[in-house]
Chain A
């Protein structure tokens, strides 16, 4: 990172229904042209994936994005990004639970990835199995853990409670164990210290419709371009794969 010289942020996004009948992903990016807001609060981005197996996933993902966007919009400054992001996420969770009502909690849900780039630092919070990744020097690094049953099993294996082989064998590994709309959140993945960004870094927020179709190597090849070209190439890459039943897919690409 060049000392004393603030990095310029760019952003692009892609969002498509894929081959599904409805779109259950939602997203937002704060206004990058609002330089005052950018200076005081940073750039804010959210991606959310309504859980298709549950009812009204689209409504929940929209509620997630709208709630977080409203919280960010109401901020005049962000002085404690780690705490502010956590509070916004908890407020969002309350709003979703309120929308669902006591009979709707755990009947519907959404993942969420929220990212804030502020004073050349990255902050994120994630619930569910959407991904936030850092692209740096040609290498893609996953920042968040997927909140699925596989994570719980792997943790048991690491602590010696079960074998690693047994952890891998479960057919329930992909089932989500933490998501917006479950009531009290079980897991939140977030950084508690600032993560410095370097000039040339890209950050990508994406739903599973992206990373289950494109490999890490394919994503890294796309992210080697500027964010606008990267977004176009990402969409073209998914289209070319022509996956049967291609899921909704959404990606926000931030560049510094």
Chain B
């Protein structure tokens, strides 16, 4: 059984440039989260277009589990869609992270620093790697992964949708899901900046459903946020096999 929940908040900012959508249809699920980059203008249009385009592609493949090639096409179309709505002085861009599930299989893809976490058996099984400057610093050994949250270059994303040249999203293998509860969390940096991975695990162990899981974590975020915090958005998916 699959269940999903999502939310999006403008945080302490005037405009919410995040966008999220998720659908569950029997044993199938698609969830997409996008974070419009503030520096370029029009971030809210960019994130909305990215989610629309990826969902359009998903429906075009009869809403089945797409293969890596099909996911690549979806992201290229999303990139083209965002690029097409740019205008002089508003070269909008966005991150995007998408999760696809059918039965006991899942796959996912992302561009930028919107993350996808997979939890199983009370452990964090996998987490996407950011396309960002702080992640580069981790890769070359200057900081450890925990340092990403506090890195001064945290807002510098190295790959985003909305480029003329196209994008190369990071696409997972089709991943078999084991019996019991598999939980996925897709979230923008405005979320994971304030909610740590162990806390995600703890709150998952307390939660009956994805909505409750998000509520527990949002309370942590809110108790840490300083009133001028970023937009924050997350989608949570439970796959009970």
Is B198 a contact partner of A134 (Cβ separation < 8 A)? yes
Is A195 a contact partner of B205 (Cβ separation < 8 A)? yes
What 15 new A-B contacts, CB under 8 Å, besides A157-B222, A191-B205, A195-B122? A139-B146, A141-B196, A141-B198, A143-B202, A145-B219, A154-B223, A164-B222, A191-B202, A191-B206, A192-B205, A192-B207, A192-B208, A193-B204, A193-B205, A195-B201
1/0 contact string of A180-206 vs chain B (CB within 8 Å):
000000000111111110000000000
User: From residue B126, how far is it (CB to closest CB) to chain A in Å?
Assistant: 16
Decide if B123 is an interface residue (CB 8 Å cutoff): yes
When distances are taken between beta carbons in the complex, the residues of chain B under 8 Å from A145 are: 216, 219
Is B122 a contact partner of A193 (Cβ separation < 8 A)? yes
1/0 contact string of B191-223 vs chain A (CB within 8 Å):
000001011011011111000000110110011
Decide if A136 is an interface residue (CB 8 Å cutoff): yes
Decide if B121 is an interface residue (CB 8 Å cutoff): yes
Decide if B26 is an interface residue (CB 8 Å cutoff): no
Q: B202's contact among A141, A157, A164, by CB below 8 Å, is which?
A: A141
Decide if B181 is an interface residue (CB 8 Å cutoff): yes
When distances are taken between beta carbons in the complex, the residues of chain A under 8 Å from B227 are: 164-165
Is A196 a contact partner of B123 (Cβ separation < 8 A)? yes
User: Does more than half of chain A's interface fall in helix, strand or loop, or is it mixed?
Assistant: mixed
When distances are taken between beta carbons in the complex, the residues of chain B under 8 Å from A154 are: 219, 222-223
User: Does more than half of chain B's interface fall in helix, strand or loop, or is it mixed?
Assistant: helix
A155-B215, A158-B222 in contact; A134/B202 too (CB < 8 A)? yes
User: From residue B144, how far is it (CB to closest CB) to chain A in Å?
Assistant: 10
Interface of B toward A, CB cutoff 8 Å? 121-123, 146, 181, 196, 198-199, 201-202, 204-208, 215-216, 218-219, 222-223, 225, 227
Interface of A toward B, CB cutoff 8 Å? 121, 134, 136, 139, 141, 143, 145, 151, 154-155, 157-158, 164-165, 167, 189-196
A139 to B121, CA, bound (A): 21
User: From residue B82, how far is it (CB to closest CB) to chain A in Å?
Assistant: 29
When distances are taken between beta carbons in the complex, the residues of chain B under 8 Å from A190 are: 206
When distances are taken between beta carbons in the complex, the residues of chain A under 8 Å from B121 are: 196
Residue of B nearest to A157 (CB): B222
A192 to B204, CA, bound (A): 9
Can you list 13 A-B pairs, Cβ within 8 angstroms, ordered by A?
A136-B198, A139-B196, A141-B198, A141-B199, A151-B219, A154-B219, A154-B223, A155-B215, A164-B227, A191-B202, A191-B205, A193-B205, A194-B122
When distances are taken between beta carbons in the complex, the residues of chain A under 8 Å from B181 are: 193
User: From residue B215, how far is it (CB to closest CB) to chain A in Å?
Assistant: 6
User: From residue B194, how far is it (CB to closest CB) to chain A in Å?
Assistant: 13
Is B206 a contact partner of A189 (Cβ separation < 8 A)? yes
Residue of B nearest to A196 (CB): B122
Residue of B nearest to A139 (CB): B198
User: From residue B127, how far is it (CB to closest CB) to chain A in Å?
Assistant: 15
When distances are taken between beta carbons in the complex, the residues of chain A under 8 Å from B225 are: 164
From B181, B204, B206, B207, residue with most partner A Cβ within 10 Å:
B206
User: From residue B234, how far is it (CB to closest CB) to chain A in Å?
Assistant: 12
When distances are taken between beta carbons in the complex, the residues of chain B under 8 Å from A194 are: 122, 205
From B198, B205, B207, B222, residue with most partner A Cβ within 10 Å:
B205
User: From residue A119, how far is it (CB to closest CB) to chain B in Å?
Assistant: 12
User: From residue A86, how far is it (CB to closest CB) to chain B in Å?
Assistant: 12
Q: A158's contact among B146, B208, B218, by CB below 8 Å, is which?
A: B218
User: From residue B225, how far is it (CB to closest CB) to chain A in Å?
Assistant: 8
Is A158 a contact partner of B215 (Cβ separation < 8 A)? yes
When distances are taken between beta carbons in the complex, the residues of chain A under 8 Å from B215 are: 155, 158
A141 to B205, CA, bound (A): 14
A172 to B222, CA, bound (A): 18
When distances are taken between beta carbons in the complex, the residues of chain B under 8 Å from A143 are: 202
A26 to B215, CA, bound (A): 32
User: From residue A154, how far is it (CB to closest CB) to chain B in Å?
Assistant: 5
Residue of A nearest to B121 (CB): A196
When distances are taken between beta carbons in the complex, the residues of chain B under 8 Å from A164 are: 222, 225, 227
